[in-house]
Amino acid sequence: MDFTFSEEQEALRASVREFLLDRYPIGRVASIADGAGFDRREWREVADLGWAGISAPETLGGTGLGFLDELVVEEELGRALYPGPFLATVVMALHALVATGAEDLAGSIVSGERIATVAWAGVDGGFDTDPPPKVSWEEDGLSGVKLFVTDLRSADLLLVVGATVAGPGLWVVDRDSRGVAWRELPTVDATRPLGEVVLEEAPASALAWPDHRLLDVLRDRALASLAVEAVGVATRALELGVEYARTREQFGKPIGAYQAVGHQLAQAFVEVETARSLAYWAGWAVAEGTPEASVAAATAKARAAQASVAACERAIQVHGGIGFTWEHPLHRYYKRALGIASIMGTGPELRRRVAGYILDSDGSADEGVRSDAEAPGPMGATSESAAL
Amino acid sequence: MDFRDNPKEAAFREVVRRWLDSNIPAGWGTPQHRMPEGTERLAFYRDWSRRLYEAGFVGMTWPKRYGGREAPVTHQAIVLEEMGRSEGPEHIGLIGIGMAGPTILAHGTEEQKDRFLRRILTGEEVWCQGFSEPGAGSDLAALQTKAERNGTAGFVVSGQKVWSSFAHIADWCILLARTDWSGAKHDGLTYFLMDMHSPGVEVRPLRQITGDAEFNEIFMDGVRIPSDRIVGEVGNGWTVAITTLMNERANVGFALLARLDIGLRRLVGLAKDTSRDGSRAADDPLIRDRLAELWMDFQAYRFTVYRAFSEFLKTGRPGPEGSVAKLFWSETNQILTKTALEIEGAYALLGAGSDRAVDGGRWQYAQLRSRGNTVEAGTSEILRNIIAERVLGLPKSR
């Protein structure tokens, strides 16, 4: 058993962090978010560093590393509130293109020439896999309405997830072709733009459908990725809270010396670190395709989002009035955390999935119960007690 | 990063599992099983501990010359996990193995290592801990038990200790006492190994909220301890004691993990087996949500223990993750047992001894016992102080 990242992965983390500190300090992220938005020409830089194709096969120009390496990058991007399309184009679209054998398109994503995003949820906001939201696909093209399309403004290509009478499918649509009307949606979290697409008989090419698991895998990749991103956001927000509590003085001492303040931050640390454990577990399970991958991804996303929102809220509280201002960057972390909590399944929705797994499936969740009776310990104590 | 056993670990796990399956006494843990009482009970546990030792499952990481196995730390984790999962009897030397032994290994003299370590592993000698006092709980360094120099022969100790598990059957005690009253409170402490059979030692059981007596008080009146039973230097007891406390938190992780696993599986079973007005608790959306939260808590604890363990493998020392894990576990266990009472409904009123009680009243007992979890081995408040100050680097609160 080994629950640590390799030296190569730690080196990757360090270089991503260094790049982001240099190119995307929080002040610049804030002016991108409040200004003209992410300039898609800057994506080329990320692709040139090899991070767009980090887990793509070398035959497509990728680096040939794994999903865990991708998550190392994603955690750092979350920490920096990087406003570009990594989740949309690398974690989701590129994987779908590789899995369906669309090598030319995949290659153009790896090189940074094209940016793709996935159009999945319909107007009800659900990212369902079985079946996915309805679309209509006839000779003259693809029709349907898609909302919550991440980084639509930077994308050249849309991968449309949907179900027709014939079953689930995936189509590639050129964002700027005829039959496509799209617009940006004003969002709470301006560091992650979202859009709406209305397809009316849009020219589309159907991708080869590999197997019924593809959408589950895509969803699990996104959930695990959102989980590590949330951990990155939470870690930075907690750092800001701690720095402030160390230096801000009231009643003659740093406010961090008061337990009412210190314990809030300690509790945030407990929540963030336990969420981190879940996020890495989910990343590993998804990377390895273990039977627990889906429930691990759901668990990790639910807990990491919750921990991240709570860490930001505690950091805002610790900052007092300044934490409530637009000028201070905390609200940007908070809004990203809220965004992660709301997309692709809220806490209650994900817990419903977990409950189904542990209560409705016959098998792993309740096997191995030896007996209902108490095993006395040396002291006549119960098994719960003896070790402490 | 890989959570699976490597082939060697998988093979060892199989050996442990098979051994436990064929050696745990028949009927153990069933309502029909009757434990012997008094000295027979003690004899059973001593014998069981020796057999665990002879099977090669005790002292996994300790040096061979002191009776250890010098096996990889992962093998120790496997033993703890499998023993927890089997719900079989425990080794009698929990305090010796988890606290006294590691402290003697780190700070003891060669003579002390030779004298004590092997006997801890074989179960031949049982240990208890004499740290907390009526006036010194979380503020441990405020302890008042007095050790006065007795010429060159050693020290004479008088005072009172509390919350001491195993003290009524213990042969030895790791004892923290004050040898110097002149300086700062952390500076005047000395770490002793006290023979519990010495004249002047008296042990009285303490009855707890559950009705059981797991803990004891230890009264010491003029107990003589020779100088060669000091660990570390005179006056350096605080540093030595920290080793004990760090090991206390680091060692319980895997054992508690297995127990939480069992508790959660049982809770799921309880929810499936309990019906009111024709519908199962397991179908009630509110109960389902609680169980989902608990399952997520369990996984969070599980992988935090694994992470703490991986850190330990890398650095060789128990890190602050142990404090996070203990804090998280204790609160999870309290919610878990409370959920069981809510599923039971009015049946939660019935205690052990009632033939109408669900599962023999185990949940009612477990729930009461769980209140101790956020107090023993570092209160949640002290653990949050540790995290705030030592991990996050916030200024000291006192």
Q: How far is A344 from chain B (nearest CA, A)?
A: 18
Proportion of chain B in helix, strand, coil states, percent, rounded to 5: 55, 15, 30
Select the residue of A3, A6, A348 nearest B307 (Cβ to Cβ). A3
* Nearest alpha carbon to residue A369 among B161, B262, B325, B318: B262
Please write the tens of the pLDDT for every residue from B324-340.
Answer: 999 999 999 999 999 99
Cα B316 vs. chain centroid, distance in angstroms?
A: 20
Tell me what percent of the residues of chain A surpass a pLDDT of 70: 93
- Cα separation, B24 vs B63, in Å, equals 27
The residue type at A260: A
Contact A246 B393 (CB under 8 A): yes
- Cα separation, A193 vs B112, in Å, equals 67
- Cα separation, A351 vs A121, in Å, equals 20
Please write the tens of the pLDDT for every residue from B89-106.
Answer: 999 999 999 899 999 999
Pairs of residues, one from chain A and one from chain B, whose beta carbons lie less than 8 Å apart: 239
- Catalytic-residue membership of B110: no
Q: How confident is the model at residue B27 (pLDDT cuts 50, 70, 90)?
A: confident
Residues paired with residue A180 on neighbouring β-strands, in sequence order = A199
B293: chain A residues, CB-CB within 8 Å: 351
B8: chain A residues, CB-CB within 8 Å: none
Helix (H, G, I), strand (E, B) or coil at B184: coil
Between the CA atoms of A126, A128, A133 and A137, what dihedral angle is there, to the nearest 10 degrees? 140
Q: Is the pTM of this model over 0.90?
A: yes
Compute how many other C-beta atoms are within 10 angstroms of the C-beta atom of residue B254.
24
Contact A375 B373 (CB under 8 A): no
How would you write B108-123 as a 3-class SS string? Answer: CCHHHHHHHHHHHHHC
- Rg (C-alpha) for chain A, rounded Å, is 22
Closest-CA residue in chain A for B387?
A266
Q: How far is B105 from chain A (nearest CA, A)?
A: 21
Interface test with A, best of B384, B390, B396 (most A CBs within 10 A): B384
Instruction: Flag whether pLDDT at B377 surpasses 90.
Output: no
Interface test with A, best of B41, B75, B214 (most A CBs within 10 A): B214
- Cα separation, B206 vs A304, in Å, equals 42
- Cα separation, A33 vs A157, in Å, equals 23
Compute how many other C-beta atoms are within 10 angstroms of the C-beta atom of residue B160.
17
Contact B387 A348 (CB under 8 A): no
- Do residues B378 and B245 lie in contact, with contact meaning Cβ atoms separated by under 8 Å? yes
Give the number of C-alpha atoms closer than 13 A to the C-alpha of residue B44, restricted to the C-beta side.
20
Cα B132 vs. chain centroid, distance in angstroms?
A: 15
B90: chain A residues, CB-CB within 8 Å: 377-378, 386-387
Helix (H, G, I), strand (E, B) or coil at B232: coil
Select the residue of B94, B293, B303 nearest A387 (Cβ to Cβ). B94
Contact A256 B268 (CB under 8 A): no
B252: chain A residues, CB-CB within 8 Å: 387-388
Dihedral sign computed on CA atoms, order B138, B140, B142, B146: positive
The confidence score (pLDDT) of residue B47 equals 95
A267: chain B residues, CB-CB within 8 Å: 384
A6: chain B residues, CB-CB within 8 Å: 1
Contact B272 A280 (CB under 8 A): no
The confidence score (pLDDT) of residue B353 equals 84
Rounded to the nearest 10 degrees, the angle between the axes of helix A330-342 and helix A26-34 is 70
Select the residue of A263, A274, A376 nearest B35 (Cβ to Cβ). A376
Please give the ipTM for the structure prediction: 0.92
Contact A278 B299 (CB under 8 A): yes
Select the residue of A4, A352, A377 nearest B310 (Cβ to Cβ). A4
Helices (H), chain B: 7-23, 38-55, 73-86, 94-95, 101-107, 110-122, 237-273, 285-315, 321-344, 362-370, 380-386
Q: How far is A364 from chain B (nearest CA, A)?
A: 10
Which segment of A225-234, B68-77, B224-233 scores lowest on mean pLDDT? B68-77
A262: chain B residues, CB-CB within 8 Å: 384-385, 388-389, 392, 394, 397
The confidence score (pLDDT) of residue A370 equals 29
- Cα separation, B20 vs B380, in Å, equals 34
Closest-CA residue in chain B for A263?
B384
Contact B397 A281 (CB under 8 A): no
Q: How far is A347 from chain B (nearest CA, A)?
A: 10
- Cα separation, A29 vs A12, in Å, equals 22
The residues near B367 (Cβ < 8 Å, ≥ 6 apart) are B334, B337, B338, B340, B341
The confidence score (pLDDT) of residue A384 equals 32
Select the residue of B28, B293, B373 nearest A351 (Cβ to Cβ). B293
Helices (H), chain A: 7-23, 26-34, 43-48, 67-80, 86, 95-99, 103-110, 214-247, 259-288, 293-319, 330-342, 347-359
The confidence score (pLDDT) of residue B249 equals 65
Residues paired with residue A205 on neighbouring β-strands, in sequence order = A172
User: Tokens at residue B112, please?
Assistant: 């002390």
B324: chain A residues, CB-CB within 8 Å: 269-270, 273-274
- Cα separation, B242 vs B258, in Å, equals 26
Instruction: Flag whether pLDDT at B315 surpasses 60.
Output: yes
Question: What is the 8-class DSSP label of residue A182?
Answer: E
* Nearest alpha carbon to residue B176 among B213, B216, B139: B139
User: Tokens at residue B152, please?
Assistant: 């060159």
Contact B385 A6 (CB under 8 A): no
- Cα separation, A266 vs B385, in Å, equals 8
Helix (H, G, I), strand (E, B) or coil at A160: strand
The confidence score (pLDDT) of residue A381 equals 32
Q: How confident is the model at residue B31 (pLDDT cuts 50, 70, 90)?
A: low
The confidence score (pLDDT) of residue A368 equals 33
Closest-CA residue in chain B for A355?
B292
Among residues B81, B82, B133, B248, the one annotated as catalytic is B248
Contact B310 A381 (CB under 8 A): no
Give pLDDT < 70 ranges for chain A: 1, 362-388
Please write the tens of the pLDDT for every residue from B113-151.
Answer: 999 999 999 999 999 999 999 999 989 999 999 999 998
Contact B304 A6 (CB under 8 A): no
Which segment of A272-281, A364-373, B162-171, B192-201 scores lowest on mean pLDDT? A364-373
Cα A328 vs. chain centroid, distance in angstroms?
A: 24
- Cα separation, B181 vs B144, in Å, equals 9
The confidence score (pLDDT) of residue A140 equals 79
Instruction: Flag whether pLDDT at B251 surpasses 70.
Output: no
